[in-house]
Chains A and B, each alone.
Chain A
Amino acid sequence: MTEAGGKASINPWVPSAGPRTAHHRSRSDNRPAARLSPFVPWEDPTAEPFIRIENLSKTFDGFAAVDGVSLDIFQGELFAILGGSGCGKSTLLRLLAGFETPTAGEVVIDGANMAGRPPYERPTNMMFQSYAVFPHYTVADNVAYGLRKEGLGKTEIKERVTELLELVQMQDFARRKPRQLSGGQQQRVALARALAKRPKVLLLDEPLAALDRNLRERTQFELMNIQDRLGITFIVVTHDQEEAMTLATRIAVMDAGRFVQIGTPTEIYEYPNSRFVADFFGAINLFEGRADAGDPGRIICAETGVPIHAEPTAGQALPDLLFVAVRPEKIRLSREAPAGEGVTVMHGTVEDLAYYGNHSVYRVRTDQGKLVQVSSQNAHRSAELALEWDEPIHLSWPRDCSVVLTQ
């Protein structure tokens, strides 16, 4: 991509200048206001939601697949719905697309109530998990399908198809049949086809599940780029927490047909609101305890023998039984006992260690018998702390790394 600079900058497949993280999304040039301030419309109480899901339920033979969920999604968001299999996330997506009719509740997209509207009358398009590329049409005909159904003129369709195939870098494959394409190429066709009608909302059902690891990472960035460039609201359903974290502006974690937590990736990872969410997002250590009546910053924990320091929760009445969650990478290992205000310290022996290249994972049995998982970055070739099996060791973490969970 060394041609004219202008062209290169349009190409969405080349990551745009500067590192992007999911949490600090820069908007593209056509939205100057958004570029200057971070894109956080959900924090703006005056912002009008683009998609309003209200009390939506879907019951199959008495089983509530989606159980009264409410959610606001804003224009330009890349929203992820995350959950295990059977949590209702796919049903929710199908309710949005119009493939299922809700048992109760409603969906409003851009001010229009979707009740009673079949899929072919909705401003949404979907990219299917199986891609569902029509096997008897060529790539170009696949992309043109929705436009033909819209009744567009021939030349306009042709232009649009060319444009879209360029967008997904499939212009050389326009006359191919789907069976001559690889899975990744089929996915690009499916994406171009779903984008062809310029939907208000693009629904993506497990967009990366069928790709192998390398392709997955690349496609992930490409999806983000396209979304960023076109400004279309994306709703992604996934079971992969890593995928959700890297892709999304916000994530809704779903379990048993309900949302457990809705928030930005950082919020959900660092401040899970329940053991379910904490557990869902990577490894976590959970300690059972109760609040110290005298000191709101101390959690008395029978399992560890030592009290755990946490941020005092002002004004909040804590129940008798609560949990402290600590991420493995927040815990420090040291041979000498560390000291400091508000630092939780435990002593134990290394029971197991695993080397993963970029980081290592240790499992430490505390003197009280609790197994704690610790991970540390291998920033240097030879780890400063070459630990051995059965070596006695101190664990410690500062109080702001303790997350107190009440459920």
Chain B
Amino acid sequence: MRRGGRSPTFLFSCLCFGFAFLYVPILVMIAYSFNDSRLVSVWTGFSLRWYGALWENEQIIDAAGLSLRIAFVSATLATALGTLAALAITRMGRFRGRTLFSGMLAAPLVMPEVITGLSLLMLFVSLEGMVGWPSGRGADTITIAHITFSMAYVAVVVQARLTAMDRALEEAAMDLGCRPMGVTFDIILPLIAPAMLSGWLLAFTLSLDDLVIASFVSGPESSTLPMVIYSKVRLGITPDVNALAAVIVAIVGIGVAVAGWLMARMARAGRLD
């Protein structure tokens, strides 16, 4: 829709206000990361000292490493499980317990993190009492927790692609002598690969971003990056966190730019080839 409706100036100012609201805080935060002063809100001069401090802060570097490892593993497994779940929902017809299954798959999307975190911790504690696993909590339990809630997001993304796919493609493969399992590998997986990739990226980001669930299910030895940041900022603003934020925004910015460029290139290659 392009025409009709309200006066363009009104909408234009709404958009300007809205985007200013979304971006000014981030820009201010980045600007202050270059502030020389320890007092975050008083500008005393340009400096990169907080970036240096960040680089030397082993706690933050370690936490970042742990977070990246957890995010990588959990995103990969969540993509596998979420894709299987999406396949089950869209391609396996009716099976016993399907309603429960789709309910369980959708619920983590809206479940408050405190509840997910609390209930998973209760599970881990109970399991440890019953079967001796997991002994204590740490990176493993965080990974399991992250897989559980991010596989729901992967499933949503992949499911959308699977629903939009022409079923005749799979039928054609079967008609030509391919068994259902072969159809999955020959036809379905190559065609949903882009959706799986976006699902993976989403799961990766969600895992990197999670504070609450990780706080519940982590052990004393394993603090993820959000947990370290939270413990620092709970007491007030600290300039090295600003520097960290600037670094993260820069990485995301570069990532989005590269992804956009790659996609544009792929789209062009697809047309010419």
A, B from the same assembly: yes
Interface residues of A (CB under 8 A from B): 97-99, 118-120, 124-126, 128-132, 134-136, 145-146, 149-150, 177, 179-180, 190, 193-194, 196-197
Please, which residues of chain A bring their CB within 8 A of the CB of B166?
A: 130, 132
Q: Tell me the complex Cα distance, A361–B13, Å.
A: 62
Interface residues of B (CB under 8 A from A): 166, 168-169, 171-179, 182, 186-187, 190-191, 270, 273
Number of A-B residue pairs with CB-CB distance less than 8 Å in the complex they form: 65
Residue of B nearest to A97 (CB): B175
Contact of B179 among A97, A120, A129, A193 (CB under 8 A): A120
Please, which residues of chain A bring their CB within 8 A of the CB of B186?
A: 145
Assess A150 versus B177: contact at CB under 8 Å? Given A128-B168, A132-B166, A177-B273. yes
Assess A145 versus B173: contact at CB under 8 Å? Given A120-B178, A128-B168, A129-B168. yes
Q: How far is the CB of B271 from chain A (nearest CB, A)?
A: 8
Contact B168–A130 (Cβ < 8 Å): yes
Contact of B175 among A125, A131, A150, A179 (CB under 8 A): A125
Residue of B nearest to A205 (CB): B168
Residue of B nearest to A131 (CB): B168
Residue of B nearest to A180 (CB): B273
Contact A135–B191 (Cβ < 8 Å): yes
Contact A125–B273 (Cβ < 8 Å): no
Assess A197 versus B177: contact at CB under 8 Å? Given A132-B168, A149-B182. yes
Q: Tell me the complex Cα distance, A177–B174, Å.
A: 21
Assess A149 versus B175: contact at CB under 8 Å? Given A130-B166, A132-B166. no
Q: Tell me the complex Cα distance, A180–B186, Å.
A: 21
Q: Which of B174, B176, B177 has the most A CB atoms < 10 Å from its CB? A: B176
Contact B190–A136 (Cβ < 8 Å): yes
Contact B191–A120 (Cβ < 8 Å): no
Contact of B176 among A118, A145, A177 (CB under 8 A): A145
Contact B273–A124 (Cβ < 8 Å): no
Q: Tell me the complex Cα distance, A380–B208, Å.
A: 82
Please, which residues of chain B bring their CB within 8 A of the CB of A129?
A: 168
Can you add 5 more A-B contacts, CB < 8 Å, to A119-B174, A134-B172, A134-B173?
Answer: A98-B175, A130-B166, A130-B168, A136-B191, A193-B176
Please, which residues of chain B bring their CB within 8 A of the CB of A132?
A: 166, 168-169, 171-172
Contact A120–B171 (Cβ < 8 Å): no
Q: How far is the CB of B247 from chain A (nearest CB, A)?
A: 38
Q: How far is the CB of B119 from chain A (nearest CB, A)?
A: 38
Residue of A nearest to B167 (CB): A132
Q: How far is the CB of A184 from chain B (nearest CB, A)?
A: 18
Residue of A nearest to B169 (CB): A132
Q: Which of A119, A126, A177, A197 has the most B CB atoms < 10 Å from its CB? A: A119
Q: Tell me the complex Cα distance, A194–B172, Å.
A: 9
Contact B176–A149 (Cβ < 8 Å): yes
Residue of A nearest to B190 (CB): A136
Residue of A nearest to B166 (CB): A130
Q: Tell me the complex Cα distance, A125–B171, Å.
A: 10
Q: Tell me the complex Cα distance, A126–B186, Å.
A: 18
Assess A128 versus B172: contact at CB under 8 Å? Given A134-B187, A136-B191. yes
Please, which residues of chain B bring their CB within 8 A of the CB of A197?
A: 176-177
Q: Tell me the complex Cα distance, A134–B178, Å.
A: 13
Residue of B nearest to A176 (CB): B273
Contact of A146 among B169, B171, B177, B191 (CB under 8 A): B177
Please, which residues of chain A bring their CB within 8 A of the CB of B171?
A: 97, 99, 119, 126, 128, 132
Please, which residues of chain A bring their CB within 8 A of the CB of B270?
A: 177, 179
Please, which residues of chain A bring their CB within 8 A of the CB of B179?
A: 120
A-B contact pairs, 9 of them (CB 8 A): A99-B171, A132-B169, A135-B191, A149-B176, A149-B177, A149-B182, A177-B273, A179-B270, A194-B176
Please, which residues of chain A bring their CB within 8 A of the CB of B176?
A: 120, 125, 145-146, 149, 193-194, 196-197
Q: Tell me the complex Cα distance, A135–B170, Å.
A: 12
Q: How far is the CB of A146 from chain B (nearest CB, A)?
A: 3
Q: Tell me the complex Cα distance, A98–B175, Å.
A: 8
Contact B172–A126 (Cβ < 8 Å): yes
Please, which residues of chain B bring their CB within 8 A of the CB of A180?
A: 273
Contact B190–A120 (Cβ < 8 Å): no
Q: Tell me the complex Cα distance, A20–B176, Å.
A: 32
